[in-house]
Amino acid sequence: MADLSTTYLGLKLRNPIIVGSSGLTNSINKIKDLEAQGAGAVVLKSLFEEEIAREFEQVMREIVTRGYKADEYEYYDQQIRSDRLAAHTEFIAQAKKAVSIPVIASVNCMYAHEWTAFAHELQAAGADALELNMFFLPSDLNRSGAEHEQLYFDLVKKIKAQISIPVALKIGYHFSNLALMIRRLCETGIDGLVLFNRFYTPDFDIDHFKVVSRNVLSTPAELGLSLRWVAMMSGRVRCDLCASTGVHDGTAVIKQLLAGAKAVQVVSVLYQNGTKYIGTMLNELDAWMTRNGFFGLEQFVGKMSQAASENPAALERTQFMKYAGGQE
């Protein structure tokens, strides 16, 4: 059997398959099952800033109906945050005791000011690393693109000053110059970038006049976006790259590794096929490595990146030629 181990964020993983932050990683029993099925690491279900804010708003609506004093606002604000943080840090501590694979904490950031105070507590709970799930929707008409992007750098700087464990950013691709943004983020001292985040997509229920979600799970067809950018940035940035979205089988894992990813994150395929599918993907990876004479991942990771390519322009092509021209 080939050696499937890899290093990501400075952490030793037995293989490159990481189960991403989701309902699959929201309980100790589920995490233990993921380890048993072969996962190389897990990213715990995120601590959502949005959920904390929503809970606070609900409490405030309730106490407004009975009347409240001004100082109650601050009290409930702090209490709700404290309770949520305490529960989450206990979850991290229990997860670390339950499994031997790396446990990566995750926070979902809406704003740039909340999480600096929390990061130290997550580290103290025993998290092996911290993944910041970052996306600030560029919808503010009064904020320039440069001001919007500065939010990422401000938050990273504050977080890095608080903790010593590895930090990864899980980002989207909505930047004016994505390549430059990826390079600049890696130069902040973070340990890794996850490309890319999968976002809530709104849709309209035209019968009930409600906003609903759609396309919750990814599809194999979505692999191309992250594959292109992992391949283009591999070897050109100072931090590890992890591929996410569209990884639905062993072949997709192999492609992302060839592009230069140190690891991949999977979620949707496990919802569709069950957690035992991790073993299927690992078997596919192992069989492919054996057929091609690879004994370890270091022999081929980045082999098809743009930096290593004999035809680097192929990854930058954006227009069809043969298909648009009616040719095969």
Binned average pLDDT, 10 residues per bin, the chain of 328 residues: 96 98 96 98 80 48 55 49 78 97 88 66 94 80 85 89 94 91 95 90 91 87 96 95 97 98 98 98 98 97 89 62 55
Q: What is the DSSP letter of 209?
A: T
User: What phi and psi, each to the nearest 5 degrees, are found at residue 104?
Assistant: -105, 120
**pLDDT for res 66:** 57
Q: Within 10 A of 149 (CB to CB), how many other CB atoms are there?
A: 20
Least Cα distance to 46 among 270, 200, 269, 243 occurs for 200
What DSSP string describes 261-300?
Answer: -SEEEE-HHHHHH-TTHHHHHHHHHHHHHHHTT-SBGGGT
**pLDDT for res 78:** 52
Question: For the domain with range 6-316, which CATH number is right: 3.40.50.720, 3.20.20.70, 3.40.190.10, 3.40.50.300?
Answer: 3.20.20.70
User: What phi and psi, each to the nearest 5 degrees, are found at residue 204?
Assistant: -110, 130
Half-sphere exposure of 263 (CA within 13 A, CB side): 30
Name the CA dihedral angle for 52, 55, 59, 60, rounded to a multiple of 10 degrees.
60
Strands 6-8 and 11-13, by their bridges, are: antiparallel
Euclidean distance between CA atoms 204 and 144, whole angstroms: 29
The residues pairing with 244 across neighbouring beta strands, listed in sequence order, are 265
Least Cα distance to 240 among 10, 13, 4, 3 occurs for 10
Answer whether 291's CB lies under 8 Å from 250's CB: no
CA gyration radius, the chain: 21
In the chain, where are the structural domains located?
A: 6-316
**pLDDT for res 278:** 98
Q: What residues contact 207, with CB distance under 8 A and at least 6 apart?
A: none
Least Cα distance to 230 among 240, 222, 221 occurs for 240
Say how many residues make up the chain. Answer: 328
